Amino acid sequence: MACQDPAVTGVRAAAYTVPTDRPSADGTLTWDSTTIVIVRVAGGGHEGIGWTYGPAAIAAIVRDKLEPVVNGRPVLDVSAALEAMVRAVRNAGRPGAVGYAISAVETALWDLKARLLGLPLYRLLGAMREEVPLYGSGGLTSYGDDELRRQLSGWVHEEGFPRVKIKIGESRGTRERRDLERVALAREVIGDRAALFVDANGAYTAKQAVRVGRGLDDAGVRWLEEPVSSQDLTGLRQVREGVAMDVTAGEYGCTVSYFEEMCAAQAVDCPQIDITRCGGVLEFLRICAVAAAHELDNSGHCAPYLHRHAAAAAPRLRHLEWFHDHVRIEQRFFDGADPPEQGVLPLDGQRPGHGVELREADAEPYRVA
């Protein structure tokens, strides 16, 4: 195919802070707002969009550190642009906000490339599937019992989700009995219609997680996420060996080598990969390959409308996290953020790129940078 070879002609970044719908907490953090940083790259008469979640300062990192190395590069050569961004941040340090900024730009470049070629991104990458299985994710420790009931019941009994996740490890793991009571309540609400997952956000010690884990196993919980800090690979492995359910982690990972180390340590049963943090589409797929080399499946973490195309192209994908907080923002800000059907997110084979358009008028009131 004869193809134009346009260059990137502009990179823009803006941050928007959206209040949560109610006070929010998990095992180790409380928050009352969530900030999305949206990047737009221009080239060849089109514009691509990508995003991440994190501090508004990410927009400044994009402008100061990444825009100068991406501008003027061939739109089609996303891998070279990624490499250039990674090299440019050597002294700034890639993990954390800088890696999140790289991810937002990289995902915007893929959107632009796919739009130039007139293809949905998952077709450009090579589709493995036409829809992405989801799990409903919420059940915050700050919810009252009625709120927990309403949310889980809505997902399972009204929307047909086959798996849902709640937060445990309340107050940094000091309320074990309450954790198990909430798990029992969740089970009572969903019955045997759906699998039950829990996320402790690193709140427990390893031995504590094994003790609580026995109760979770008895309640039929299938997925124990971050029972201890993700930094503690030895602790994760200890928990993994001490419980029947799958132990998972990985949401903060910013590099392929982070996941290689996690897999090699036999710390998890299913690494969780976040495309808005790990470096974007290419790194997401490379990490899937690393996990596959260790005979492990993978799962996508949050930001469902940015993950869906890479997830549809990913080998050994189990599911993608349908995180209440991000779903709210993405459905409010983007046209094309269509609702799931029976717990799966269908891919639109018609719309190019990520298949979403920013509704500027809806986003602008939340703009902070």
Q: Which residue ranges make up the site for Mg ion (CB under 5 A)?
A: 199
Contact 58, 13 (CB under 8 A): yes
Q: Least distance (Å) from Mg ion to the CB of residue 229?
A: 12
Closer Cβ to Mg ion, 40 or 167, answer by number: 167
Torsion of CA 220, 226, 229, 233, to 10 degrees: 90
Closer Cβ to Mg ion, 82 or 186, answer by number: 186
Closer Cβ to Mg ion, 129 or 328, answer by number: 328
Taking the C-alpha atoms of residue 345 and residue 36, their distance in angstroms, rounded to an integer, is 21
Closer Cβ to Mg ion, 250 or 280, answer by number: 250
Q: Is 21 exposed, middle or buried (0-12, 13-18, 19+ CB in 10 A)?
A: exposed
Q: Least distance (Å) from Mg ion to the CB of residue 226?
A: 6
Q: Least distance (Å) from Mg ion to the CB of residue 201?
A: 6
Q: Least distance (Å) from Mg ion to the CB of residue 251?
A: 5
Closer Cβ to Mg ion, 155 or 323, answer by number: 323
Q: Which helix (H) or strand (E) holds 98?
A: helix 97-117
Closer Cβ to Mg ion, 106 or 199, answer by number: 199
Closer Cβ to Mg ion, 199 or 330, answer by number: 199
Q: Which residues contact 345 (CB under 8 A, 6 or more apart)?
A: 131, 132, 134, 304, 308, 320, 322
Taking the C-alpha atoms of residue 18 and residue 334, their distance in angstroms, rounded to an integer, is 14
Question: Which pair of tokens denotes residue 278?
Answer: 């790990």
Pairing of strands 195-199, 163-167: parallel
| Residue nearest Mg ion by beta-carbon distance | 199
Question: Which pair of tokens denotes residue 251?
Answer: 């949401």
Q: Least distance (Å) from Mg ion to the CB of residue 321?
A: 8
Closer Cβ to Mg ion, 121 or 302, answer by number: 302
Q: Which residues contact 136 (CB under 8 A, 6 or more apart)?
A: 151, 152, 155, 156, 159, 161, 163, 164, 165, 322, 324, 343
Q: Least distance (Å) from Mg ion to the CB of residue 271?
A: 12
Nearest Cα neighbor of 239 from 272, 264, 216 is: 216
Nearest Cα neighbor of 14 from 104, 139, 123 is: 104
Closer Cβ to Mg ion, 199 or 246, answer by number: 199
Q: Which residues contact 89 (CB under 8 A, 6 or more apart)?
A: 65, 66, 98, 102
Match 């008895």 to its residue by tokens. Answer: 218
